[in-house]
Structure 1
Amino acid sequence: MAKQYTKNLIKREFLKLLEEENFNNITIAMLAERCEISRNTFYYHYEDIYMLVREILRDELEKVDEEFNETFSWEESLLHAVSFLLKNKKAAQNLFRSIDKKEIDSYLYKICESVMSRYVDNECQSKTIDAKEYDKRLVTDFYRAALVGLLDKWIQDGMKESPDKVIFRIGKLFDGNIERSLRISENLDEA
């Protein structure tokens, strides 16, 4: 219990520091002082700051999976999934400007994959659509790629505008396309 408390304290204070400092300026000594722990305590829990970052992102991805609500539209699900970024805008910007682009893309990929694959599966189940697995994968991959691109652009542009405006607009522009694609799959030959 104390171990989890300390890890949560380190994560929380790290995110607060990211609101104030550039990622590259944050040291383990600075973080340990802020948490009122020793550097050794930090190293007991994490190998380095990058391991801490990976765990924070992994925790957020787990929350996305745990909190998936099948009554949400894909738009609502995606907004819920990026709520961590919205709540921690400055920290996310500092972090994403400083870590490897592959890490950012991997994080965005996993968020969008989780949202779209669950949404596509739920669409098939709730509307009794017998889409082929190959086609479900194609639909998921298509929307995931588009959404990763949009989120990446939003982050690159400084996360200034609220993503809900764009996401819901896209939802309206493409309304019904996912269901339509899955229904077409029912009548296609196997790939």
Structure 2
Amino acid sequence: MTQKLDRRTRYTRSVIKQSFLELLQKYPFPKVTVTAICKKAEITRATFYLHYMDIYALLDAILEEALHLSENTNPDKSLADLLYQASQSNEGDSFIKNNYTMLPVCQRIADSPCYQALFSDKTLGPYILEYIFTHEKAQMISFLQNQLQIDATLAENLYLFLVSGAFTINQHHKWKKDESWFQIQAMLLRLIYHGIQGLKK
């Protein structure tokens, strides 16, 4: 019975998420309502609120799913390796293409077609940026503190600067990974690496 309930719960949540994302392809976020989601998902409002407190709780669940927060088991080592290898590589933007999976999750977040409407919605930009910043803050502050021997406040502000810049570039490119995007990423990784080395001195 428990297994059936779990399966039903997963199915219902999946239908709710899918309905929300499909509506977002047609309407801006402020126009998407719980009523519209329920109608599209063919569920009652009571069923929606059984699973999500409100539309922002649903949005958070989708963002958590998109970020794959538990995917990278050692983000500090991965990012340190990526920055170093990018600074030493003569491949230019080809290095990023060949090592794409090493990029931070926030750079790969909109790759799935089902999430593109989410990240293309300009009204959601500040909310998504704050979500990414909050959920990756702890590991990135630790990384920057270890690399630069600075206090947590400085590390937090440096990370905010970096993640805001990366997010803005992705928005500017409409979350598409074209040739220009890869060139910019290669340049920025070298800039960040040499900036960290300069600050160490």
Structure 1 length-normalised TM: 0.66
Aligned to 2:111: 86
1:170 Cα deviation after fit: 0.8
- Cα 1:110–1:49 shift into 2, 3 Å: same
CA-based RMSD of the aligned residues comes to 3.3
Match of 2:149 among 122, 132, 153: 132
Q: Distance in 2 between matches of 1:65 and 1:117?
A: 17
Q: Distance in 1 between matches of 2:142 and 2:71?
A: 12
Match of 2:69 among 52, 64, 79: 64
Q: Distance in 1 between matches of 2:160 and 2:110?
A: 18
Q: Distance in 2 between matches of 1:100 and 1:160?
A: 12
Q: Which amino acid aligns with 1:71?
A: S
Q: Please identify runs of 4+ aligned residues in structure 1 that moved more than 6 A.
A: none
Structure 2 length-normalised TM: 0.63
User: Alignment partner of 2:53: what SS?
Assistant: coil
Instruction: Give 5+ residue unaligned stretches, structure 1.
Output: 185-191
Q: Distance in 2 between matches of 1:117 and 1:146?
A: 12
Q: Distance in 1 between matches of 2:78 and 2:170?
A: 26
Identity level (%): 21
Match of 1:98 among 106, 123, 127: 123
Q: Which amino acid aligns with 1:91?
A: L
**2:24–2:118: 8 Å Cα contact kept in structure 1?**
yes
Q: Distance in 1 between matches of 2:31 and 2:139?
A: 34
Instruction: Give 5+ residue unaligned stretches, structure 2.
Output: 1-5, 84-95, 97-101
User: Alignment partner of 1:5: what SS?
Assistant: helix
**2:52–2:58: 8 Å Cα contact kept in structure 1?**
yes
Q: Which sits farther off after the overlay, 37-46 or 138-147?
A: 138-147
- Cα 1:180–1:64 shift into 2, 3 Å: farther
**1:117–1:140: 8 Å Cα contact kept in structure 2?**
yes
List aligned pairs for 1:1-191, cutoff 5 A: 1=6, 2-61=8-67, 63-69=68-74, 70-72=77-79, 73=82, 76-78=102-104, 80-87=105-112, 88-94=115-121, 97-99=122-124, 101=126, 103-110=127-134, 113=137, 116-117=140-141, 119-120=143-144, 124=146, 132=149, 134=151, 138-139=154-155, 141-152=157-168, 154-155=170-171, 157=172, 159=174, 162=177, 163-179=181-197, 181-182=199-200, 184=201
Q: Distance in 1 between matches of 2:199 and 2:129?
A: 26
- Cα 1:83–1:20 shift into 2, 3 Å: farther
Q: Distance in 2 between matches of 1:168 and 1:15?
A: 31
Q: Distance in 1 between matches of 2:189 and 2:106?
A: 16
Q: Distance in 1 between matches of 2:107 and 2:65?
A: 13
